Structures are given as structure tokens and as C-alpha cells.
């Protein structure tokens, strides 16, 4: 399996977030991706490749130009450490660092490269990207995300055929949902924690099903807190049925490991070996797939969780 990775992400190293106004240590740190990379690099069947470069047009097919320019200009003026933007921001969890723009742009290029490789005939490619993307909306950063990597890759693939996005991060992908809410050529299916009590709070309820031409092309499945594999897989089966009915040419998987039982900000009870079972079930779809890394914050076990999940795919 090809793994698209760039070390540019390291220039984005958030230090703290403001949670309910209090300074809390940031969990979306460079070590996340580094620990996954070192777990995969010695395994057979994995090959790490650099992202290709893309012009701004792919990024601008999803994000507003003024938001992109704002992010670039604002990060330039960060000297060291971090600060918070005043505009185009959803929450107080998503700081500007000196490297945020470059890292986010590179993460989008990782996802785009993975999409291009799938169009060139790879059955599955993994974008080992950070910062994550699924909370980023057309014109705002939020939930540790700046550009929506999975949405940018999906838009790119959608020129060649119908795309289904399956989002299995612990949190609802409000950005991805917003971006494709009125479209039927990209299906959005998400499994996540109850937004009544979990981030992003505002969206992800089961009554949100899309609008206009997109009505019926968004599906939100709420997974109860403390769910273990059995309960999780029951809901996953329903989500996969929606994807089968849609019959897409491509699958984009927004993959979060914050569903792990030891995750510091998650609330499900999945174990390392469960990730292999879950990926086997998704793999049964047999659709050419771009996997995009989203959340997952328990660093000591991130490498084994990623290896458990991806090794099932690497057999393909």
C-alpha cells in the first residue's frame, strides 16, 4: 500500500487550545503522524511516497480565496508559538502557528496525490496527513482543521465518477457535510458521537439529510458513548448499506483513531484488534479507496492502531 507523507507537517506544532476559556495542552501534535510513519515504515506491503505538488485551483474548488489568503497572511506574521485568528474561525481549539498554512496545504496535497494514484489504478492509497481536515468548512477553520483534505480529494475524484465519503472519526465532520450538503454526486456518510454532548455540538444529528438536489445524500449515524466493537459494527453495517445502494466509483475514508478506548478526547471503547475487524468490513465494499487520516490522539498506541487497520487493506 502506498502511504503519502511529507515532513512539512512538523512546522505546525500547536501548543495549547482554549477549552471553556482555560489553557489546555494541545493534542493535535506532530508526534501523531511521526509515530504512525515509524510503525508503517518497517512493515512489508507499505511504501512511503512524497506528495506531488498541485496549483491552488484544487484547494480553491472547495475553499474561498479570501479565506485561503487570510490564513496565509495571518500565519506569516506568527513569530513563534501560536495565536488565534479573529476571523474565519469556528472555535477556540484551532490556533494559528507559523507553519499552519504550509502544513495544511501540504496535507491537502497528500490527499490529492492519493486520489491521483487511485485514478491511476491503485486500489487503495493512504494519505498520512496532518493537520486533519473534516471540520474545515468552505470558509472557516475549526476542530484542529484548516483545509478539508478529504473534501478536496473527493471533489477531485468526483470529476471522474460518483464518490462516497465514509467518515469514521469520533467527531462529526461538519466541514465535509457542509461542503457537499446540496450535492448528490458526492455522498456523505458519518458515524460519530452524539453532538448533544460531543464536538462539534452544532451538527451531526440524524435529521440532517442534505438539502435541494442533495436531499437524501447525507447520512448521520450516532454511536452511543462507550460502544464496543459489536455495537459499533451493527451501526457500521447500516452505514455501509447506504454506500452500497449509492454504488459509487470511489470511496474516500475519513479515518480517525479517536474512537480508541484510551483516546484522551474520545468516548468509545474500541480496542486495537477491533480496527482490523472494522477495516475488513469496510474493505468488503471493494471500491477503489482513498484513506485520509483525521483525528486520533492517544500517541502510544496510534502506530499499532494504524497498522491494525491498514494491514487488512494492504492484503488487497
Residues at the site binding Zn ion, with contacts judged by CB under 5 A: 169-171, 256, 258, 295
The set of residues, in sequence order, having a beta carbon less than 8 Å from that of 89 and lying 6+ positions away, is: 140, 141, 142
Query: Quick check: is 192 catalytic?
Result: no
268 contacts ligand Q9C (rule: CB under 6 A): no
| Cα(293)–Cα(283) distance, integer angstroms | 17
Helix, strand, or coil here: 215?
Answer: coil
Provide the minimum distance between the beta carbon of 4 and ligand Q9C in the complex, in angstroms, as a whole number.
18
| Cα(20)–Cα(168) distance, integer angstroms | 26
For residues 152, 126, 103, 12, the Cα torsion angle rounded to the nearest 10 degrees is 130
175 contacts ligand Q9C (rule: CB under 6 A): no
Only one of the segments 100-108, 137-145, 179-187, 277-285 lies at the binding site for ligand Q9C (rule: CB under 6 A); that segment is: 137-145
CB 129 within 8 A of CB 113: no
- With respect to ligand Q9C, which residue has the nearer C-beta, 132 or 248? 132
- With respect to ligand Q9C, which residue has the nearer C-beta, 116 or 293? 293
Residues 196 to 215 in contact with ligand Q9C, rule: CB under 6 A: 199
- With respect to ligand Q9C, which residue has the nearer C-beta, 210 or 256? 256
Choosing from 34, 167, 169, 208, the residue that interacts with ligand Q9C (CB under 6 A) is 169
Provide the minimum distance between the beta carbon of 44 and ligand Q9C in the complex, in angstroms, as a whole number.
30
Cell, residue 258: 479517536
**Burial call 96-127: b when 16+ CB within 10 Å, e when fewer:** bbbbbbbbbbbbbbbbbbbbbbbbeebebbbb
How many other C-beta atoms can be found within 10 angstroms of the C-beta atom of residue 240? 18
Choosing from 46, 153, 295, 311, the residue that interacts with ligand Q9C (CB under 6 A) is 295
265 contacts ligand Q9C (rule: CB under 6 A): yes
CB 89 within 8 A of CB 143: no
Cell, residue 68: 485561503
Contacted entry of Zn ion, ligand Q9C, none for residue 199, CB cut-off 5 to 8 Å set by kind:
ligand Q9C
Residues 16 to 45 in contact with ligand Q9C, rule: CB under 6 A: 19, 24
- With respect to ligand Q9C, which residue has the nearer C-beta, 14 or 51? 14
Q: Which active-site residues does the annotation give?
A: 135
User: Footprint of ligand Q9C on this chain (CB under 6 A)?
Assistant: 19, 24, 93, 132, 135, 143-145, 169, 171, 199, 256, 258, 265, 294-295
Amino acid at each position: 500500500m502506498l502511504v503519502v507523507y511529507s515532513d512539512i507537517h512538523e512546522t505546525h506544532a500547536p501548543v495549547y487550545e482554549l477549552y471553556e476559556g482555560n489553557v489546555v495542552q494541545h493534542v493535535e501534535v506532530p508526534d501523531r503522524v511521526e509515530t504512525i510513519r515509524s510503525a508503517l515504515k518497517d512493515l512489508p506491503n507499505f511504501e512511503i511516497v512524497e506528495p506531488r505538488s498541485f496549483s491552488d485551483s484544487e484547494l480553491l474548488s472547495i475553499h474561498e480565496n479570501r479565506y485561503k489568503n487570510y490564513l496565509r497572511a495571518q500565519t506569516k506574521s506568527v513569530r513563534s508559538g501560536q495565536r488565534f485568528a479573529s476571523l474565519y474561525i469556528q472555535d477556540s481549539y484551532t490556533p494559528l502557528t507559523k507553519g499552519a498554512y504550509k502544513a495544511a496545504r501540504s496535507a491537502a496535497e497528500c490527499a490529492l496525490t492519493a486520489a491521483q494514484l487511485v485514478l491511476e489504478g491503485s486500489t487503495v492509497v493512504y494519505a498520512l496527513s496532518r493537520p486533519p481536515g473534516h471540520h474545515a468548512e468552505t470558509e472557516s477553520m475549526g476542530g484542529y482543521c484548516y483545509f478539508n483534505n478529504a473534501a478536496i480529494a473527493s471533489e477531485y475524484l468526483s470529476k471522474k465518477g460518483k464518490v462516497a465519503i465514509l467518515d469514521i472519526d469520533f467527531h462529526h465532520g461538519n466541514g465535509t457535510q457542509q461542503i457537499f450538503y446540496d450535492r448528490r454526486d458526492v455522498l456523505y456518510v458519518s458515524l460519530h458521537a452524539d453532538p448533544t454532548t460531543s464536538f462539534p455540538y452544532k451538527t451531526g444529528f440524524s435529521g440532517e439529510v442534505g438539502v435541494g438536489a442533495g436531499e437524501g445524500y447525507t447520512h448521520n449515524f450516532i454511536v452511543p458513548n462507550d460502544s464496543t466493537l459489536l455495537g459499533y459494527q451493527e451501526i457500521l453495517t447500516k452505514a455501509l448499506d447506504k454506500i452500497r445502494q449509492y454504488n459509487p466509483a470511489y470511496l474516500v475514508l475519513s479515518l480517525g483513531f479517536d474512537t480508541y478506548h484510551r483516546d484522551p478526547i474520545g468516548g468509545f471503547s474500541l480496542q486495537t484488534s477491533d480496527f482490523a475487524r472494522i477495516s475488513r468490513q469496510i474493505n468488503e465494499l471493494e471500491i477503489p479507496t482513498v484513506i485520509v487520516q483525521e483525528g486520533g490522539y492517544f500517541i502510544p498506541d496510534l502506530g499499532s492502531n494504524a497498522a491494525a487497520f491498514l494491514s487488512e487493506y494492504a492484503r488487497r
